[in-house]
Structure 1
Amino acid sequence: MPKTFDPSTLQTYGDAAAGHDGVLSDPSGAVVVKPCTQSEVAFYESLSSHPDLTPHLPTYMGTLSLSASQPTSDSGTIVTADGAVERLHGKKLDTELHIVLENITAGFKKPNVLDLKLGAQLWDDGAKPEKRARLDKVAAETTSASLGFRIAGMRVWKGVPVPPVPDTLKDFVDVDDEGGYWVYNKMYGRKFSADNVKEGFEAYIHSQGTETKQLERAREVLAFFLGEVKDITDVFERKESRMYSASILLVYEGDVDEYAKTKQKLRSAPPLEEEGDEVDLPQLAAVKMIDFAHATWRPGEGPDENALKGMRSTSSILKNLLDKAEKDLDAAEAA
């Protein structure tokens, strides 16, 4: 049985780039707590048999049930510690089960977040015909069908005061004035085709311009992203699974000056004396697979080519952007 947890200590999770409402974090920001289905819990609990996969997923910390202090069982809302009214269940799950996971954005001062929804087929075998038709339409009209992924959402730090959003983006970007972010909604990613989706990645990776120090960061971050996505692809090529609507989450330090400070901290950090030592170090970038509500193991059915297509397309775009960043940096340094 999941242990009871008092939701009044939780706060609205503010760093999500996409996904459903109702995701919360603990006061320390180290974990996220989100409503889930038993199938997602089962997937995470099966990872003990897949140790090569666990480094590429957020750490699973168990489950929680909502405490008896909930307002009413049919309201589906709580008032959190920061005063926000949260609808935890969306379209009302029949369970109060919540999954507790590592917060991937913890350790960043100003995390820039990009959520890539994988797959041309976005529905699982249990989906009703009307849901299949709706999601097939979304896939056909976006890069989901052509590339096997689409941009589901982005958060990029722009600084305070936040620069105004251009008229061409006003339907796609909300401004977080206090935090200094542009928050790109799900419709932003749906406007791209395979020919121009690179522009979305460029808006993410060059969020503070293309001066020399920004290009240096872009080169380093893109090289890291590319290596991590390739590693994830290699692992899943050896797995027999189906992960409909799973995502790859890309995160990097959005403040270029903080990025430089973090690099220096990491350089000067003492080496770990033993393999089991744990040190709370800041991060420059991270890549994880998330969202496994529709994930299952399918022995005998081969790798999940539906998701792998999106991973490979992502790698191709990252490689193209890395090559361009290196070329632009060489030109800037030669000027």
Structure 2
Amino acid sequence: MNLVPLEHRAAGHDGPMQSNDGAIFAKPAVQAELDFYNNILSQYHGSGAEIDEFEEPGSRLIHWMPRFFGKLASNDPGAGDDNVYIVLDNALHGFKKPSILDIKLGSILYDETASPEKVERMKKVSNETTSGSLGFRICGMKIIKQGDFELGIDGLNEDEVLDKDQDGFITFNKFFGRKLTDSTVSKGLELFFKKNDLPSKIQDQLIETFLIRLKLLYNCMLSEEVRIISGSLFFVFENDIDRWEELQYNDHIIDIFEYLSNDGDESGDEDEDEPSKKNLSTLKFIDFAHAKMTPGESYDENLVKGIDNLINIVEKF
């Protein structure tokens, strides 16, 4: 498989790649993340158990995760553990002009493997940002460039937090989210949903769709016995109005095909008519390098707090 640099990104470390056709996403592998995907798949499929096609969409964590194809050996020195990439479905595939939002969940940003120096550094980040107070932080954002852009958020300097000129998009760096406060984070989120050329009717539809997703995810996480440190919610929506019209404004709440077929098949073959490629927006739970199964330990309060506060803010738009 030939890999090229990822076309669109909003946050994260260097190294993400995609297949030539954009259908596949690959990033340097961390063994803990590979293990988590495999454990979630094993838990979902069970030992020879059949997939329940009639279970409530969005009721399981796997419903929100990118489709997992396994790992790919690489000679690239930038590859991860044992020179391999983790290979996933690219959530951006099929979008022509995507707006992207990456939100890191949790107030605790380190696990038991972190060095004392990293623990102190991550505690400082949490204490000084909305990670500590709200349980989430905007980690990165990319929106369509719209005329003469003005940020208009108190306490933020445009030169420090964004890049205005990047292929028709405005990209917000990690300092954007770190400088937002409890009182200004709603304005930061509002930029994502409303600073575009889409009609207000579509903007309202997107807000309602993402609210439904967040509420489904919240309920889902109440029944998942996992611990996920520094996991992220990955929001995407289409800015190309022609594609909205082509798909008759129909937007799937959950990518049903993906989780029913999430069997780790590494072939990467995709049917052009798959609903997952006809979404006008999507919400994915990503980044599991510091995640583990914790049977018998109930849900992850560190995650649920952030999702709940996100819901409360977006409901007011």
TM over 0.5: yes
Alignment correspondent of 1:299: 295
Shift of 1:218: 1.4
C-alpha spacing 1:50/1:235, structure 2 compared with 1 (3 Å): farther
1:198 aligns with 2:186: yes
Match status 1:183 vs 2:171: yes
CA contact (8 A) 1:151 1:188 kept: yes
Say whether 1:27 aligns with 2:27. Answer: no
Q: After the TM superposition, which residues 201-240 of structure 1 pair with which residues of structure 2 at under 5 Å, given as runs?
A: 201-208=189-196, 214-240=199-225
Other-structure match for 1:282 = 278
Pairwise CA distance, 1:215: 1.6
Matches of 1:42 and 1:229, distance apart in 2: 26
How far apart are residue 283 of structure 1 and its match? 1.9
Q: Is the 8 A contact 2:61 2:224 kept in 1?
A: no
Residue in 2 that maps onto 1:173 = 162
Per the alignment, residue 143 of structure 2 pairs with 156
| Closer, same or farther: CA 194–53 of 1 in aligned 2, 3 Å | same
- The Cα shift of 1:307 comes to 0.9
Contact 2:31–2:81 at 8 Å: present in 1 too? no
Identity of aligned residues (%): 35
Aligned length: 279
- In the other structure, the counterpart of 1:330 is none
In the alignment, the residues of structure 2 paired with residue 10 and residue 165 of structure 1 have an alpha-carbon distance, to the nearest angstrom, of 36
Structure 1 portions without partners, runs of 5+: 71-75, 77-87, 268-274, 322-335
- Structure 1 pair 94/175, CA: closer, same or farther in 2 (3 Å)? same
Q: Which residue type is aligned with residue 301 of structure 1?
A: E
Structure 1 counterpart of 2:248, which letter?
Q
**Counterpart Cα distance in 2 of 1:32 and 1:50:** 22
Aligned equivalent of 1:134, options 99, 117, 121: 121
Partner Cα separation in structure 1 for residue 107 and residue 205 of structure 2 = 30
Letter in 1 for 2:71: T
| Paired residues of 2:23 and 2:90 also in contact (CA < 8 A) | yes
Matches within 5 A, 1:1-335: 9-48=2-41, 49-50=43-44, 52-67=60-75, 70=76, 76=77, 88-89=78-79, 93-158=80-145, 163=148, 168-177=157-166, 179-208=167-196, 214-255=199-240, 257-258=241-242, 260-264=244-248, 266=250, 279-280=273-274, 281-321=277-317
Whether the 8 Å contact between 1:154 and 1:185 is mirrored in structure 2 is yes
The higher radius of gyration belongs to: 1
Per chain length, whose mean CA-contact separation is higher, i.e. which structure has more relative contact order (CA < 8 Å, sep 6+)?
2
Alpha-carbon distance, 1:61 to partner: 0.8
> Hey, what does 2:264 align to over in structure 1?
none
Where does structure 2 lack aligned partners over 5 or more consecutive residues?
46-59, 252-259, 262-270
* Coordinate RMSD, CA, aligned: 2.2
Shift of 1:207: 1.9
TM-score computed with the length of structure 1 as normaliser: 0.78
Answer whether contact 1:207 1:254 (CA < 8 A) is retained: no
- Residue type at the aligned position of 1:119: G
Secondary structure of the corresponding residue to residue 82 of structure 2? coil
| Conservation of the 8 A alpha-carbon contact between 1:262 and 1:282 | no
Deviation at 1:100, TM superposition (A): 0.4
Q: 1:259, 1:308 → 2: CA distance?
A: 34
**Structure 1 259/190 Cα, relative in aligned 2: closer, same or farther at 3 Å?**
farther
Over 3 Å off, 4+ runs: 162-168, 275-278
Superimposed CA distance per residue, residues 1-34 of structure 1 (whole angstroms, 9 cap, x where no aligned partner) = xxxx5xxx21110211111110000001001110
